A and B are shown apart, each in its own frame.
Chain A
Amino acid sequence: GESVGLHLPTLSVQEGDNSIINCAYSNSASDYFIWYKQESGKGPQFIIDIRSNMDKRQGQRVTVLLNKTVKHLSLQIAATQPGDSAVYFCAENMSDDKIIFGKGTRLHILP
């Protein structure tokens, strides 16, 4: 069925290095994608989004890339900090505002 998933369940990155979290989606009709960060005991926090008419969008220390040809989404975090430790979810906008989440990638920051 239609789903959004991630390639790696856990990613360990040295503090100060860049992090890249990947996501594959299966619904070619989806036109809006979101990245969320979830810390332990908290709800998902919006990081950045991108619409299907774009292939790149930048925020503060974060960049989202969208490759519609291979249905791939990635989140790049520059100069990773200890506060970036969390689970990261990509989400795909379906019809009627409904979004579908992937399983998430846990990002560990090594000192």
Chain B
Amino acid sequence: GAGVSQSPRYKVAKRGQDVALRCDPISGHVSLFWYQQALGQGPEFLTYFQNEAQLDKSGLPSDRFFAERPEGSVSTLKIQRTQQEDSAVYLCASSLGGPGPQHFGDGTRLSIL
């Protein structure tokens, strides 16, 4: 499709397991963003890439969170040793770069049991 694609749409994991969430941005988009959205809240910034360079990871809650975009296209957000407080929707967005609208995927709903 032409939009941002995220997989899986839903993920259930037991506390302590590692998870990996994938984002396929819009083709040609330079910038890629990850957000965490708790129920009833707005998206909270996690990290941001320009091509393959991670320019800002100030929003990552702990060192259990790791993101990569090795070839400047697809990105993976990995959460190690998951905790219940990691339960949320994880949104990915991409943009052409510079001030301009970000285009979002439909997110991955992560539930930690």
- Chain A interface (Cβ < 8 Å from any Cβ of B): 31-32, 34, 36, 41-46, 49, 51, 89, 93, 96-104
Contact = CB atoms under 8 A, between A and B. Distances in A.
B95 A43 contact: no
Contacts of A100: 45
Interface string B69-113: 000000000000000000000010101011111111111000000
Contacts of B99: 31-32, 51, 93, 97
B83 to A, nearest CB: 23
A-B pairs with lowest CB-CB distance, top 4:
A43-B104, A101-B42, A32-B99, A46-B101
Contacts of A36: 104
Q: What range describes how many residues of B lie at the interface?
A: 20 to 34
A34 B43 CA distance: 14
5 contacts: A46-B103, A49-B101, A98-B45, A99-B102, A101-B44
B91 A44 contact: yes
Interface of B: 4, 31, 33, 35, 41-45, 48, 50, 55-56, 91, 93, 95, 97-107
Nearest to B9: A41
B93 to A, nearest CB: 8
A51 B43 CA distance: 21
Nearest to B97: A97
A12 to B, nearest CB: 17
A111 B101 CA distance: 32
Given A93-B99, A102-B42, 9 more contacts: A32-B100, A34-B101, A46-B102, A46-B103, A49-B100, A51-B99, A97-B99, A99-B102, A101-B44
